Amino acid sequence: MNQKTLTKANLAYFTGSEQWYRHGLARNALYTEGAQFVAEHGGPYWLIDEIAYGQAEPAVAAVEFQVWRLAVNPDQTAILTCDDGNNRVVFTKQIEYTDFPLTEIRFYFTNSTILLPNEY
């Protein structure tokens, strides 16, 4: 298993994106360099999947601007939520186990693109 090298300080470097990646299975979803960095250095490619596949949920798809938040608990369980940017939650999922190295991370999803808040 790869060692997780992601820190909050790493995320500050992503303030825009010059390269986009297309999701392998949810072909209508793109993600930025920052999201790719998080997946590569923090290990949660599954989180990119959750956001891309979450677009199949009618309540989620109806929201044009989405804020996805992963909150990791001390016991390595987590909760993944999606809200409309005004704290109206439209999706919640319990994660039974994660070794994600940060206690929290947020992504935005808009215009079919997953990105870090700094990249917006």
Tens-digit pLDDT profile for residues 25-81 = 766 899 999 999 999 999 989 999 999 999 999 999 999 999 999 999 999 999 999
For residue range 12-39, list pLDDT tens digits in order: 999 888 888 887 676 689 999 999 999 9
Smallest Cα–Cα separation from 114: which of 62, 38, 10?
38
pTM of the model: 0.92
For residue range 92-109, list pLDDT tens digits in order: 999 999 999 999 999 999
pLDDT at 3 over 70: no
* 83: containing domain: 18-119
In our burial notation (b when 16+ CB lie closer than 10 A, e otherwise), range 85-118 reads: eeeeebbeeebeebebbbeebebbbeeebbbbee
Count of domains observed in the chain:
1
| Within a domain: 7 | no
| Within a domain: 13 | no
CATH number at residue 50: 3.10.450
pLDDT at 1 over 50: no
| Within a domain: 99 | yes
| Within a domain: 102 | yes
| Within a domain: 10 | no
